[in-house]
Chain A
Amino acid sequence: MVLELNETLIEGAERTVSMLAEEGQMVCLTGGTAACRTGLLLAMMGLRAVKSGYVCIDGEPLSAEMADEFRALMAYAPDRLTAEGEVKRYEPPTVQEVFALKANRELPISNGILAEEMKRTGADGEKARLLAVAVLRHKPILLVDNPAPECAGYLRQLAQEEGKLVVATSAEQAIVEAAHIVVEL
């Protein structure tokens, strides 16, 4: 599986981004603003418009019709799941809601499995939970927004040993050094 960005420009970015990554590799998107890095990850999933250039997987370009199929190959761990502005009177969002979705109901998951994976990530708190949930979806492409520096070794291991294509955004030196490919925004 090959993920390619070709002269991709998103809203708010000053420069286009080009990269080519395969399974078994870890890519780090660094530089630029945090909002720009997050926007690029969302653009890869078809959740943010691309002003010019394209995103493609195995030569198939991302379009409105193909977005669902692209996302079916991906798992996403955001920087945080904010409850800011959320209507707090009602049910706030939980990370584990992902496993109640129809697409994920067949996954073998339990509190014990989740706790174990969270420990493996090397991080703690919400970041560990977000990353563990994404990993436990067992998708070939893992997109991680601003992971904790302690996760550097874990992310590299996911790429090398489990054959995932990991794309992480970060300004942390540990994550940049762990990556096979570094893309400067």
Chain B
Amino acid sequence: MEIQSNIGVVMLLVLLAGAVAVLAWTDHKSLWRVLKAFASLTLQMIVVGGGAWVVYHYNSIWISVLWLVGMMALAAGWCMMEGRLKQRNMMLPVAGAVVGSTMLTGGLLMWCLSSRAMVPVVGVLLYYLTTAVVQMMQTYASSLRHTTAHRAYLTANGATRLETLMPSVKRALRASVMAQIKQMAQPLVVAMPTLFCGMLLGGAQPLGAVAVTLLLMAAAFVASVVATLLFLTLAERFSSLGK
């Protein structure tokens, strides 16, 4: 998709400046936040766009792998930072969850679509995954903290470790998919999903865009659940969470 009218772009920028001026006139504090957000968005888009350009331009498997590893490392790092878990050895469960679920669902999606779809597919998956993993980690850790007495009571009366952890596992699973469920519950006739609109802008046919959007949403849901199961298994094995 190419920009057809520079005049249109200039008019949009003028309107943007007008909107920012209104904000400056009514609320100074919000103004700085808005300007910072725009600046941050622009910088990040340059970096993300640059990375995607390199992948498409060189069309080399090694550059694609490098890009993929970089994106997964950034996503895992972001989850660690936002999750703010104080337990030891949390990097392995978080990285395992992000990498495992991305590889599984991303791989399946690229099989359905094509390997050229790697950048948008991984981008969408990591977007949903980072939110899901952070919510899940915080909910699980909080649940474990609040159920210490309950778990001790069950353990003392015959429960296995898995039985004592099940209430917290259920909460973690719920938390990991809740953000996506809320989004899916939005009335689409009123506000079409960004993903769908992005594909139409990219030149996709509407019915094809619908099919791909549904596939991506399903894959993102599966990725959230798989990431939760991987995280819980690896955390139980390798970290001090809940011990």
Q: Which residues of A contact B (CB under 8 A)?
A: 42, 45, 47, 71-72, 74-76, 78, 81-82, 85-87, 90-91, 93, 97-98, 101-104, 133-134, 137, 143
Contacts and interface: CB of A to CB of B under 8 A. Distances in A.
B171 A87 contact: yes
Given A87-B142, A90-B170, A102-B163, A74 B150 contact: no
A71 B152 CA distance: 11
Interface stretch (B91-99, B115-123, B153-161): B153-161
B158 A137 contact: yes
B10 interface: no
B155 A71 contact: yes
Contacts of B206: none
A173 B155 CA distance: 30
Interface of B: 142-143, 145-147, 149-150, 152-160, 163, 167, 170-171
Contacts of A90: 167, 170-171
A101 B170 CA distance: 16
Contacts of B143: 87
A72 B145 CA distance: 25
Contacts, number: 68
Given A76-B153, A93-B150, 6 more contacts: A47-B156, A86-B147, A87-B147, A98-B157, A102-B160, A143-B156
Nearest to A93: B150
Given A91-B167, A101-B163, A75 B157 contact: yes
A116 to B, nearest CB: 20
B152 to A, nearest CB: 5
A97 B158 CA distance: 11
A45 B157 CA distance: 10
B210 to A, nearest CB: 35
A81 B157 contact: no
A87 B175 CA distance: 13
